[in-house]
Amino acid sequence: MAKADIAVVLALLAALASALGNVVRQRSAQEITDKEVGHLELFKMSVRDAKWWLGALGAIANYVLQAGALVLGSVVLVTALQVTALLFALPIYAYMTRRRVTRWEWTWAVLLALALAVVVTVGDPDAGASRGSLGTWMVVAAVMGPALLFCVLGARFWSGTVAAVLLAVVAGSSLALFAVLTKAVVELVRGGVGALLTAPEFYVWIAAALAGMIFQQSSFRAGSLTASLPTSVVAKPLVGSILGIAVLGETLNTEGPMKFVLIAGVVLVVVATVALARGEAETISTTNDQRAHPLEQQPADCVQARGQSA
Taking only the tens place, the pLDDT of each residue in 270-309 is 888 777 767 666 666 666 566 555 544 444 444 444 444 4
CA atoms within 13 A on the CB side of 182: 27
175-200 pLDDT, tens digit per residue, is: 999 989 998 898 888 888 888 888 99
- Residue of 77 and 96 predicted with greater confidence: 77
The answer to whether the pTM exceeds 0.85 is: no
* AA identity, residue 188: L
pLDDT of 275 reads 78
CB 46 within 8 A of CB 52: yes
Q: Angle CA(68)–CA(69)–CA(74) in degrees, nearest 5?
A: 130
Between 218 and 182, name the one with better pLDDT: 182
pLDDT at position 310 is: 45
- The top-scoring range by mean pLDDT among 96-100, 203-207, 288-292, 302-306 is 203-207
For residues 217-232, give the mean pLDDT: 71
**181/220: higher pLDDT:** 181
pLDDT at 227: 66
- Condensed to tens digits (0 to 9), the pLDDT of residues 29-76 reads 666 666 666 656 666 776 677 777 777 788 889 888 988 898 888 888
3-state secondary structure of 251: strand
Distances (CA, A) of 143 to 68, 150, 261: 29, 11, 30
Q: Are 83 and 269 in contact (CB under 8 A)?
A: yes
Share of the chain above pLDDT 70, in %: 80
CA distance 91 to 100: 9
Beta-carbon contacts of 174 under 8 Å, excluding residues fewer than 6 positions away, are: 148, 208, 209, 211, 212, 215
The backbone torsions φ and ψ at residue 126, rounded to the nearest 5 degrees and listed phi first, read -105, 140
pLDDT of amino acid 300: 47
Q: What is the pLDDT of residue 155?
A: 87
Picking from 15, 44, 25, the residue whose alpha carbon sits closest to that of residue 236 is 15
How much is the pLDDT for 213?
81
pLDDT of residue 173: 93
Mean pLDDT of the chain: 79
Torsion of CA 171, 173, 175, 181, to 10 degrees: -150
| pLDDT-derived band at 78, boundaries 50, 70, 90 | confident
Environment class of 135 (CB within 10 Å of its CB; exposed 0-12, middle 13-18, buried 19+)? exposed
Separation CA 240–CA 218 (nearest Å): 21
Q: Are residues 228 and 169 in contact, defined by beta-carbon separation less than 8 angstroms?
A: no
Q: What pLDDT does 159 receive?
A: 76
The band of 13, judged by pLDDT with boundaries at 50, 70 and 90, is very high
d(CA 62, CA 81): 12
Q: Cα separations (Å) of 69 from 14, 74, 171, 172, 218? A: 9, 8, 21, 19, 28
19 pLDDT band, cuts 50/70/90, is confident
Please tell me which residue, 27 or 187, carries the higher pLDDT value: 187
What would the pLDDT profile of 126-177 be if each residue is shown by its tens digit?
777 888 888 999 999 999 999 999 999 998 888 777 888 889 899 999 999 9
Across residues 74-103, what is the average pLDDT?
79
